[in-house]
Copies of this chain bind each other. A is one copy, B any other.
């Protein structure tokens, strides 16, 4: 977890096979690791290569705690630590030849269990001690979230030989993440993604020690979020009544993520990218006009001049903020400039209202009005909410105080870093995504250098560093981390997992 890695070991490994090919010798796809941990831990000390033998049939994960998170994790990691053992148990037991020298992993959590949810700032640090002389491995963490990361690392430290003997190297690992926010954006508006696919994706995030599921829930294409207070939003805005997430399904996903130490940060993109809100909430969107004054443009922008819309937004976010337990919520705010021209500037009713309210013709002032007016209703619903916005909201100077900047633009690496410099110089916390637009696929370069014209020279996925903008230590301290994004224009349940993770199955 030293580096901000988004890459599954096999995905990376497969690229090496593919790019280098036979000219550089043929790697062995059947090769198993010898217990290397991914992402690379902060500190690893090896005891002169002594290797413990483990018997999967009798090995125990133990804890003194009565803790659902650990009990559930033990069930998962018994499988994940000994892949294939369950299926081939008989054969394994028959073939086993070596006597076990390690019999348990003892998990100790200083602060005990956590009945709540993972939050920004959770302590994910942990240590694993495996001594040649002890039959017990020890995993220590301050918080249960760190214990989960340690269990993942331990499962990766265990390996087996062709005789089905299982081993683990004697090592001391001391690890903690470089960044507190290691996220992945999944877009369930452009294509609907089933609950089972989202859960599978959470498993893989945990395997890679990623800790934030940024759920881009709604957009112009579809509104799959089922509000109880406003059922028409999904009834009329989802692709079909079947392509929705009920609140119990959302709670199920949040609970599934919690058990893996993953935060679920929902995004309700406003005031733009709201086209799919319209069918279920007449009057919410502004009428939009082309250069000839014709109302030909499908609206994608909320009309903030109507009180009724603020009554709606108050009720809507009150419900959403009480459904999602994460202290952070993403409110979008990207790509409104064109719609401001079409749907506000050319909308006489809105222009009249703006003039009456001293905004003249400056639609940016109306945009500012929208975001500032969001704050009290958000705080009223949940006072401790931190608001995240896409970078334009910060760039335009219309963001509420202490908003977090989500940097996603930039045609070059320099532009990206310059934006990171500016938002942190302005004192904002920042999350970087520009470097990791995983939906930009390209033959022969899926994970390598990206020369797609849309992100020309943005740099290597691996080499992009969110703090490489040459700022002060104070600025670096404002960098919360990064988020890979997989926009779903060309992604659905059939290709999301391979495109993101490329796991051999």
Contacts and interface: CB of A to CB of B under 8 A. Distances in A.
Contacts of A220: 21-22
A495 interface: yes
A454 B439 CA distance: 21
A443 B444 contact: no
A503 interface: yes
A166 to B, nearest CB: 18
Contact of A30 (B190, B221, B239, B275): B239
A221 B28 CA distance: 11
B21 A221 contact: yes
Nearest to A11: B494
Contact of A498 (B27, B29, B222, B498): B498
A86 interface: no
A275 B494 contact: no
B441 A443 contact: yes
A287 to B, nearest CB: 16
A442 interface: yes
A222 B18 CA distance: 12
A489 B444 contact: yes
A242 interface: yes
A240 B28 contact: yes
Contacts of A494: 497-498, 502-505
A499 interface: yes
Contacts of A29: 191-192, 239-240, 243
A439 B221 CA distance: 29
Interface in A166-186: none
Contacts of A298: 22-23
Central interface residue in A190, A221, A494, by most chain B CB within 10 Å: A494
Contact of A489 (B21, B489, B490): B21
Contacts of A495: 495, 498-499, 502
A17 B443 contact: no
Contacts of A490: 15, 18, 443-444, 446
Contacts of A19: 489
A255 interface: no
Contacts of A452: 443
Nearest to A23: B298
A495 B494 CA distance: 9
Contacts of A28: 239-240
Nearest to A192: B29
Contacts of A31: 240
A442 B443 CA distance: 6
A267 B498 CA distance: 28
Nearest to A505: B494
A61 to B, nearest CB: 29
Contact of A492 (B27, B239, B242, B504): B504
A348 to B, nearest CB: 24
Interface string A209-249: 00000000000111000000000000000011011000000
Given A18-B190, A490-B446, A498-B498, A239 B26 contact: yes
A14 interface: yes
A332 to B, nearest CB: 16
Nearest to A239: B29
A298 to B, nearest CB: 7
A492 to B, nearest CB: 6
Interface in A1-60: 14-15, 17-19, 21-23, 26-31
Contacts of A17: 190-191
A428 to B, nearest CB: 30
A493 interface: yes
Contacts of A26: 221-222, 239, 276
A324 interface: no
Contacts of A276: 22, 26
29 contacts: A14-B492, A15-B490, A17-B191, A19-B489, A21-B220, A21-B489, A22-B222, A22-B298, A23-B298, A26-B221, A26-B222, A26-B239, A29-B191, A30-B239, A30-B240, A30-B242, A30-B243, A31-B240, A439-B443, A441-B441, A441-B442, A441-B443, A443-B452, A443-B454, A444-B489, A493-B504, A494-B503, A495-B499, A495-B502
Given A18-B490, A19-B489, A441-B442, 4 more contacts: A18-B489, A440-B443, A446-B490, A493-B504
